[in-house]
Amino acid sequence: MKSFTLALPVAVLASVASASVVPTKSISKRASETCEQYGEITTGNFIVYNDLWGESYASSGSQCTTVDDVSDNSISWSTSWTWAGGSDDVKSYANAEWQFDATELSSITSIPTTWEWSYTGTDIDADVSYDMFLAPSADGTDEYEIMIWLAAYGGAGPISDGSATSVTIGDYSWDLYSGPNGDTTVYSFVASSTITSFCGDILDFYTYLIDNEGVSDSMYLMSIQAGTEPFTGTDAVLTTTAYTVSVE
């Protein structure tokens, strides 16, 4: 499996110990697109990032990300890309980030989410994943990165310093990997088989880490992103027809 260094999120909101959502009006039927390296689209309670943080590893390629529809805590969006060269390196992380205030794990009762998506293209080497960070305080430095991989295409694999542990969380089976990314410890739950229609409670993954990996429930959840990390492929399109998430 490949290992790679994942860039930190483009933006982390100013933090207070509360799970309140930034108040916004519901928006629908408003498509917009960005093809810029660090292009972003703020809409509803989401920021959608193109985030071509690793494009310098590619010998050629491009990527654009489009928001199709958003309402309250639900969004539909897509990203299209072609990348060649640097087969061991991630080129980007197009994603939708849910906007909320940094919140201590012990005060969270649920993080319900659904994700309906599909992938098309040729020779796709990529993952489809949630990406989240934990810090010891609301304004602290990230100590943990938590990823939930719903799919791994081609040779894509997570950061790992050893073998995986098989776990069952919700209605799904996962292989749990861990390893360092600088000073950050990365935990990656990789689905045993591709999940294109996911429904679950992200808090269950944190409960597992608290009970089995020594992660403290006093850690603050800093961000929740959902998207794709491509290595290489041609005419690839990740289409999210419906994605919902909230912190309760």
Catalytic residues: 145, 229
* Max Cα distance, the chain (Å): 46
SS (H, E, C) 143-187: CEEEEEEEEECCCCCCCCCCCCEEEEECCEEEEEEEEEECCEEEE
Structure tokens at 135: 């810090």
